[in-house]
């Protein structure tokens, strides 16, 4: 099997499309085809849509939803554009079947929106499990790179040398927004990943017990609960880890 690949990295040039704006236009086009009476001058007539759907279809003031501290800010991340593009590595082979992209994953997802919107067959991600012991960078502006974050927080000096031993900031279970920080990190990435999938595309996500319940609810919101296929459990350790007589794997 030929496993050679091109290597590219993020470079600043041009602007990525607005992912949320493209999604809105996609929805408007769909409504224009199925219910043209609710579209006027390329605007959605909410009152007509309410009449068409009927009162029983309208969500009350209190309704079932997943909410967390920082969700509005996470939604704003979706609307951000990027001026980065991909730059081929000078050492690329003459021909290769695969491409390896190096860069901060949220920025890469933004860059890919223009070229791969609705074209990807399969996505696999292995996000932080949020165990309290693993660590992931979650600064106030979580679109910045790890190197930028380390310099801003004083972990690296301008020359690039570490000032501290720790490379990462732990999302401790003692934090009042322990789950919220993880959900805010995941939400824009899943939303942008969804934009890349084909209609028959599929996404696989590795996770453990710490966030599996929240991940399921988050994916139901982003991808639609009707699109959930199933959950595959694996035995990572045949002996398990003993928790009061229950072996968790």
| 74, 183 Cβ separation under 8 angstroms | yes
Name the pairing type of β-strands 98-102 and 5-12.
Answer: parallel
Radius of gyration of the chain measured on its C-alpha atoms: 21
Q: Whole-model pTM?
A: 0.72
| Separation CA 105–CA 82 (nearest Å) | 12
Per-residue pLDDT of the chain (249 residues; tens, 9 = 90+): 556 777 666 565 455 666 777 778 888 888 888 888 888 888 888 888 888 888 777 777 788 889 999 999 999 998 888 888 888 888 888 888 888 998 888 989 999 998 899 999 999 999 989 887 765 555 544 445 556 655 655 556 666 655 444 444 567 776 677 889 899 999 999 999 999 999 999 999 999 888 999 999 999 999 999 999 999 988 766 776 666 666 665
Query: Coil, strand, or helix at residue 116?
Result: helix
CA dihedral 65, 69, 71, 77 (to 10 degrees): -170
């Amino acid at each position: 099997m030929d496993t050679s690949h091109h290597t590219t990295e993020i470079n600043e040039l041009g602007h990525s499309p607005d992912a949320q704006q493209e999604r809105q236009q996609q929805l408007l086009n769909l409504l224009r085809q199925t219910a043209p009476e609710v579209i006027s001058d390329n605007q959605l007539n909410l009152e007509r849509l309410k009449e068409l759907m009927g009162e029983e279809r309208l969500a009350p003031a209190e309704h079932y939803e997943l909410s967390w501290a920082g969700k509005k800010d996470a939604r704003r991340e979706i609307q951000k554009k990027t001026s980065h593009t991909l730059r081929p590595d000078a050492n690329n082979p003459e021909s290769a079947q695969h491409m390896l992209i190096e860069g901060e994953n949220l920025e890469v997802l933004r860059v890919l929106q223009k070229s791969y919107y609705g074209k990807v067959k399969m996505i696999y991600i292995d996000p932080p499990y949020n165990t309290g012991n693993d660590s992931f960078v979650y600064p106030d502006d979580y679109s910045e790179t790890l190197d930028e974050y380390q310099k801003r927080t004083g972990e690296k000096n301008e020359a690039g040398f570490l000032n501290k031993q720790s490379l990462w900031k732990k999302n401790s279970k003692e934090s009042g927004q322990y789950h919220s920080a993880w959900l805010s990190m995941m939400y824009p990435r899943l939303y942008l990943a969804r934009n890349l999938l084909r209609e028959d595309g599929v996404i696989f996500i590795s996770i453990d017990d710490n966030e599996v319940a929240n991940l399921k609810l988050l994916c139901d919101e982003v991808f639609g609960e009707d699109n959930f296929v199933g959950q595959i459990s694996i035995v990572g350790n045949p002996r398990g880890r003993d928790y009061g007589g229950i072996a968790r794997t």
